[in-house]
Copies of this chain bind each other. A is one copy, B any other.
């Protein structure tokens, strides 16, 4: 195997040379990771990971869904009742099916981690499964393979986690109070208390009252509870909120109507379509708060979560059975934007799983509204071809400076560096093509490469 130093670069020699030169100036820049799903507990406790299967296979839904799609059972991957419990057996299943990942970003990320993190550069397959397993297992207890070791080896400057509004943030407090030099910040994700369709919504509102010290029995109190929680998150370093809605619909009802809608939501008396309306109103309320407190608002929408009833029932959430649906932002965002879209402090970062919105809606929106920024390619699109399509489709209308750089969005800790590396290589390849087709001069490309690798993320998320 052995990672090739020119991977992902254009084949044309002149263009490859420029891509390589650009990449060399950004390869070792610090990693700014403003959005992701690592567990704050890891960073607080610095505990060692137990085994290769737990590290690479079982929790990574990119990996498990692909194996399941080809007939491997969840149980064989350590998931569900009566599942395989031997990590070596799980690893062997994974290794012997690794050829299924040919052409996928998972393959690039995993091979990068195996080689660069663990020094294992043979091809992963049945024949090498045990050797790889042992190589990884033999070092997991060492400091440099624990979270803090990886933080330093990956040259992370700052990393954000994603945390529920009700979370006590104990791990974040512990990190803050520790002597460790790492910068790990929370992100305010209030879906459990803004989405009436979430299980236990009424209970969640009660808990929100408890943790915020504000009564959530009224609309005004409920909004104050959000303000209080946002303040707590900010004290622990948070600069952003995140909203995972099925659709980007927003609303801006008169406050008395919103209050009455909230009463119905709180007491379980919403009519048809009113849960969606409440979520829509809450996006505008969150934007209003962001315009006041300066927290950057992220909008992740367009996924039909848990597409298989059986998989959800038997194996739980986040198993790779989340499937995108068509999305349109133009009409959906207008109420929120008409309310606060020109406020100087507001910044909203938009993510999409529906690539048709890149040229049709997102680039035109971000290329006009000063409050809107385009998030990097998300989830299925966080890949060589995905990033390339994004730049090709977004840049001509929105330029580079209305985009938010890169974020890794990952819960797979060993893949953090690999993902940023893929993004940096792909962006440098894109810039190199602009240079050799004389759409950009070389010195401009070098400057923009810096921004794409870290500067834009820092700026977009106010992490400077």
Contacts and interface: CB of A to CB of B under 8 A. Distances in A.
B102 A310 contact: no
Nearest to A369: B69
A369 B439 CA distance: 38
Given A4-B438, A361-B324, A369 B308 contact: yes
B8 A440 contact: no
Contacts of A102: 399-400, 440, 444, 448
Interface in A64-106: 65-66, 68-71, 99-105
A367 B69 contact: yes
A325 B324 contact: no
Interface string A338-371: 1001101000000001111001110111111110
A216 to B, nearest CB: 32
Interface stretch (A20-28, A220-228, A377-385): A377-385
A65 B402 CA distance: 12
Contact of A103 (B12, B334, B400): B400
A115 interface: no
A268 to B, nearest CB: 25
Given A326-B328, A364-B324, A368-B68, A396 B310 contact: no
- Residue of A325, A342, A359, A395 contacting most chain B CB atoms (<10 Å): A359
Contacts of A307: 330, 334, 337, 365, 368
A104 B392 CA distance: 10
Interface string A304-325: 1001111100000000111111
Contacts of A325: 328, 330-331, 360-361
Contact of A433 (B11, B104, B323, B396): B11
Contacts of A397: 104, 380
Given A310-B338, A360-B354, A368-B323, A70 B104 contact: no
B439 A8 contact: yes
Interface in A213-245: none
Given A70-B402, A360-B354, A438 B6 contact: yes
Nearest to A4: B438
A89 B328 CA distance: 39
Given A337-B308, A368-B65, A392 B399 contact: no
A1 to B, nearest CB: 7
Contacts of A356: 326, 354-356, 360
Contacts of A65: 367-368
Contacts of A341: 308
A22 to B, nearest CB: 14
Contact of A385 (B308, B393, B436, B444): B393
Interface string A390-409: 00110111111110000000
A237 to B, nearest CB: 25
B399 A66 contact: yes
Given A70-B402, A337-B307, A326 B396 contact: no
A88 to B, nearest CB: 24
7 tightest Cβ-Cβ pairs between the two chains A and B = A7-B438, A4-B438, A103-B395, A11-B12, A383-B396, A65-B368, A11-B436
